Amino acid sequence: MLTPGRLRGCVLFASALVCAGCASGHSTGTAASTEVTTTTTATATATATATASPGLCTDGTIQTTSHDGGAGMGHVALVLVFRNTASTDCVLRGYPGVTPYAGAEQGTPAHRTLNGYMGGAARVHDVLLRPGSVASAMVEGSDVPTGSNHGCPDYTKLVVTPPNLHDGTPLHVRLPGCARLTVHPVVDGSHGRDF
């Protein structure tokens, strides 16, 4: 039989056990919560870093060359090719700068248009360049004299600047100069057109 003194002692002992269990459970819950939060933050940071978009290409990382783009109905095309020589990805977007020369005489910079008779782009868009890969853009000239002219000068050099860059590359070429040159936006690959 429990006396009042013994009953009070049992109640105090039981209360102490319950409180100890509560304190222990609360502490464990906080540690687990902190661990989950830390793991989630680290995973989100790693994912954001892995999926970060590459930046625009920079001067000194793009090699510029050209090749014949064909001719037809008085239009003559040249394809400008831009190769990523860096060890990291970068993006080209927009129109190259193209300044023609007939001998030492500078002509009017090429007019920027989405496309022309020989091709071009359906729209301006980002072109991702992996290390060693290329983008291209088409330049078009005309060999049809206008007005009372019986002939046209030939452009013998183009100074070409990749989109959004500053360093121009001189290319020794031959394009007819019967009309102002046009240049189209960069597209993926080496054909100068995406359609």
Pick from 112, 97, 91: nearest CA to 162: 97
pTM: 0.73
Sequence-distant (6+) residues with CB within 8 A of 128 are 54, 89, 90, 91, 188
Return the CATH number of 62-188, one of 2.60.40, 1.10.4160, 1.10.287, 2.40.50: 2.60.40
pLDDT tens sequence across 123-142: 999 999 999 999 999 999 99
Task: State the DSSP code for 49.
Answer: H
Contact yes or no for 124/185 (Cβ under 8 A): yes
pLDDT tens sequence across 41-54: 445 544 444 457 89
